[in-house]
Amino acid sequence: MSHTVTIEPIGEQIEVEDGQTILQAALRSGVWLPFACGHGTCGTCKVQVVDGDVDLGEASSFALMDSEREEGKVLACCATLESDVTIEADIDVDEDFEGYPVEDYQATVTQIVDLSPTIKGVHLKLDRRMAFQAGQYINIDLPDVEGSRAFSLANPPSRADEVELHIRLVEGGAATSYIHQQLKEGDRLNLSGPYGQFFVRSSQPGDLIFIAGGSGLSSPQSMILDLLAQDDDRQIVLFQGARNLEELYNRELFEGLARDHENFTYVPALSQAEEDVSWQGFKGYVHDAAKAHFDERFSGRKAYLCGPPPMIDAALTALMRGRLFERDIFMEKFLTAA
């Protein structure tokens, strides 16, 4: 038994299975609705019901207030349909979004490597290919860990039957502890994807700046590998921030890409460089490296930021002071998978 939801203003009609939420049905049909927590607590996925009957599900009273309920607002991540329904959603359809539908996949762990003392590289082989845009992420289920966890894909879309993840150990975090301490080669995992709106806006002109911190390198790595494989001729600069040399991973990969592609420049920055007396590169925070490289003037470029919130905030301030507008800056705050 299913019902139909019509999503305005785009006029898209989607089948919603019994028990499926509006959000699940939309993502699985390749229609992106804004969301964050996915379980009724943040309010990001609020939509207006204009026609039909909906079960509100587990919407929290903070995320959806009584007055909003009376106005017909619902949370798409919790709401299921009791009839055919029409909703109005705040959808900003981006012309560069390819809209690959979210699907379920099974995968086998093929390799686990230590990228740094705190970050593991986890490689999976998918049972079938997954179409995605560079920069997007997947949700993984782990044994004995409640709920799924989001991790960005570090492999380019051309390696569609693989998944490469960079996973930092979060102290006390059930999922990352499991991955660091128990996950082993040969294990089978269930995952879904692709998710997310962090991808290169190819139709927008301008040279590209990537600023990455910690395991936030994963999305920029996928995007840069993809751009260079497509012979994109824009100037691309990657600023990679780490505390010290041990934490600066995949440096050889990017140094090699910089040697092979004259339009790609790699600038690593160590914030605690005093620990590594041999370090000849930039000493300081990654946003300061970007400021120094561009003489504090960024106008005409597009910037993609991925890393922990303090890094994103500092980079954002630096870029905007250097004449980039908000519309020129795209970011993925660290997905807080613990």
Residues making contact with ligand FES (CB under 6 A): 35-38, 40-45, 63, 75, 77
CA distances from 231 to 200, 225, 300 (A): 14, 10, 21
CA distances from 5 to 36, 79, 194 (A): 21, 11, 22
Compute the Cα dihedral for 79, 34, 119, 285 and give only its sign: negative
Compute the Cα dihedral for 208, 328, 195, 116 and give only its sign: positive
Nearest CB to ligand FES, comparing residues 43 and 194: 43
What is the DSSP secondary-structure string of 202-261? TTS-S-EEEEEEGGGGHHHHHHHHHHHHTT--S-EEEEEEESSGGG--SHHHHHHHHHH-
CB of 147 to ligand FES, least distance (A): 13
How does DSSP classify residue 66? H
CB of 46 to ligand FES, least distance (A): 7
User: Within 10 A of 108 (CB to CB), how many other CB atoms are there?
Assistant: 14
Which stretch of DSSP H or E encloses residue 166?
strand 162-168
CB of 34 to ligand FES, least distance (A): 8
Nearest CB to ligand FES, comparing residues 37 and 131: 37
Name the amino acid, one letter, at 181.
Q
172 and 201 in contact (C-beta within 8 Å)?
no
Angle at 204 between CA 199 and CA 207, to 5 degrees: 85
Nearest CB to ligand FES, comparing residues 33 and 286: 33
CB of 43 to ligand FES, least distance (A): 5
Nearest CB to ligand FES, comparing residues 33 and 208: 33
Nearest CB to ligand FES, comparing residues 78 and 142: 78
Nearest CB to ligand FES, comparing residues 40 and 220: 40
Closest by CA to 196, choosing from 121, 106, 306, is: 306
Nearest CB to ligand FES, comparing residues 23 and 211: 23
CB of 169 to ligand FES, least distance (A): 26
User: And the tokens for 2?
Assistant: 């299913």
CB of 20 to ligand FES, least distance (A): 14
Nearest CB to ligand FES, comparing residues 65 and 228: 65
How does DSSP classify residue 152? E
